[in-house]
């Protein structure tokens, strides 16, 4: 029987989980378990049909679904979500394409341990449709930001950013794909920096 992980990490997803997969792969390639005692021990989704769940299971990561549609309101969903997460006693909770706005009580519960990746160069373009808005605004550059989560949407300490050019003929889909490639690079690096710092 393997020893318990000293510094468990839980990842929250709603869809394909490409950032989650990048985190799991980076953690194994860079030997987080041996170096920091840290490991992604669980993936939790609010959608039972999230494609990332199958990927996680196929790579030996435990999965849980807390379906938001089965809860009457946001506080009851967040309470159930906290129960699922806290079963793993995580040192970090990583939002990776988790498409639910979380209550202030949830955010406070994980204060200092809750991290998100957002597809814009914050503080520009908080919220949704970031790539479309960047193109419409005539931005020459776009990018991604890894940040700590606070009760205010897409605010909190910036941990890492990556910049990509906005091309003259860009579409939101093309820009999104370029930004996503950078998200897959900077998110694991930012998490590793937190582990080095002793979070």
Cα separation, 151 vs 106, in Å, equals: 9
* Beta pairing partners, 39: 8
DSSP string computed for 76-109:
HHHHHHHHHHHTT--SEEEESS---PPPHHHHHH
Distance CA 115, CA 159 (A): 9
CA 91, CA 10: separation in Å to the nearest integer? 8
| Residue for token pair 């990490």 | 9
Peptide bond connecting 123 to the previous residue in cis, omega within 30 degrees of 0: yes
Catalytic residue among 59, 68, 109, 118: 118
Whether residue 118 lies in the annotated active site: yes
Angle of CA points 118, 176, 10, to nearest 5°: 40
Q: Which two tokens stand for residue 114?
A: 């809750």
So which residues are the catalytic ones?
118
């Amino acid at each position: 029987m393997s020893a318990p992980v000293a510094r468990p990490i839980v990842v929250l997803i709603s869809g394909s989980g490409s950032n989650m997969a990048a985190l799991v792969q980076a953690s194994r390639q860079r030997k987080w378990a041996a170096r920091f005692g840290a490991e992604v021990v669980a993936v939790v989704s609010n959608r039972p049909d999230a494609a990332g769940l199958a990927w996680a299971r196929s790579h030996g990561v435990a999965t849980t679904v807390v379906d938001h549609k089965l809860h009457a309101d946001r506080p009851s969903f967040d309470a159930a979500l906290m129960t699922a997460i806290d079963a793993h006693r995580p040192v970090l909770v990583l939002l990776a394409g988790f498409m639910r706005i979380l209550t202030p009580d949830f955010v406070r519960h994980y204060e200092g341990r809750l991290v998100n990746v957002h597809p814009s160069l914050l503080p520009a373009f908080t919220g949704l449709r970031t790539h479309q808005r960047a193109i419409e605004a005539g931005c020459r550059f776009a990018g991604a930001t890894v940040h700590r989560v606070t009760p205010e949407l897409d605010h909190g300490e910036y941990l890492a950013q990556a910049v990509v050019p906005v091309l003259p003929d860009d579409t939101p889909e093309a820009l999104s794909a370029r930004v996503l490639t950078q998200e897959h690079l900077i998110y694991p690096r930012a998490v590793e920096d937190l582990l080095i710092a002793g979070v």
